[in-house]
Amino acid sequence: MQGVSVEWNAKDLVFWSDDALLAVNKPGGMLVVRGGFDDSPYLAQVLEPAFGRVWVVHRLDRQTSGILVLARTAEAHRNLNTQFQEHTTTKVYHALVHGDPPWDERTVSFPLRRDGDRRHRTVVDEEKGKPSSTRLCVLERFGRYALVEAIPRTGRTHQIRAHLAALGLPIVADALYGGGQRLALSNIVPGASRGADPDQPLIERVALHALRLTIVHPITEEIQTFVAPYPTDFSVTLSTLVAY
């Protein structure tokens, strides 16, 4: 998906707004901030013509879809930055993984070190890694695949991807942490001939979606939870796994 020119409509991305905040369902494949020499459209660039200046508070990997909040004032930006830095927010992700976890729930506490190998990945490092914790829960099992809910208690780079890979449960289509094996109908039903091309991937990017985010509103001080529905590629993939 990287390098492909895509047109995004700002008003299609924003599903909640007020004078302080925008809540966005970011598509997989979209950059949150400008990407060096990559001239692809990034989130603020797409939003600002329609909504005015916005401040980025937190990020999602390019291929990850789901909920992001952006500040519309400097005051809201400072408030939200503090919440994310102090880990008082709650983030819930759903990931489709290769494998069948031998547990229903567990907490992973492998210490992680950013940029830990030649591929610049986040790696488990018992000596130099920073404390990292992710709560995992299996939501559905599909034989060789599973839908897992992940709640990170710390905010390390690529934390969920690195923790799942360390457990031998890499996220589907994650080329950096899991070999990038894509999921097509032919992977689910060997010899399948249904549809135009059974080898066409059902999902072509990291199968990770930021589903839910809970914050304290920077103006009203009310607890607010935003939920970003699954995008089409994620929901179609799950429906196909359920069907077969």
Kindly state whether residue 4 falls inside one of the protein's structural domains.
no
* Containing structural domain, residue 204: 10-243
pLDDT for 82: 97
The CATH number for 74's domain is 3.30.2350.10
Pick the catalytic residue from 61, 100, 104, 117: 61
C-alpha span between 118 and 170 (Å, rounded):
19
199 is catalytic: no
Kindly state whether residue 52 falls inside one of the protein's structural domains.
yes
pLDDT for 192: 62
Kindly state whether residue 50 falls inside one of the protein's structural domains.
yes
In the 8-state DSSP scheme, what is residue 38? B
Kindly state whether residue 156 falls inside one of the protein's structural domains.
yes
Q: Is 98 helix (H, G, I), strand (E, B) or coil?
A: strand
* Structure-derived torsion over alpha carbons of residues 186, 170, 202, 243, reported in degrees to the nearest 10: 70
Kindly state whether residue 5 falls inside one of the protein's structural domains.
no
Give the other-Cβ count within 10 Å of 13's Cβ: 19
Whether the model pTM is above 0.85: yes
Question: Is the distance from CB of 96 to CB of 147 less than 8 angstroms?
Answer: yes
Query: Domain total for the chain?
Result: 1
C-alpha span between 15 and 47 (Å, rounded):
12
Kindly state whether residue 183 falls inside one of the protein's structural domains.
yes
Token pair recorded at residue 160: 């969920």
Helix (H) or strand (E) holding 124: strand 123-124
Chunk the chain into consecutive blocks of 10 residues (it has 244) and report each block's average pLDDT, rounded to whole numbers: 64 95 96 82 94 96 97 98 95 97 98 92 95 98 96 96 97 91 80 65 94 97 97 95 90
Kindly state whether residue 1 falls inside one of the protein's structural domains.
no
- Contacts (Cβ under 8 Å, ≥6 apart) of 148: 94, 95, 96, 97, 101, 136, 137, 138, 139, 164, 169
pLDDT for 241: 94
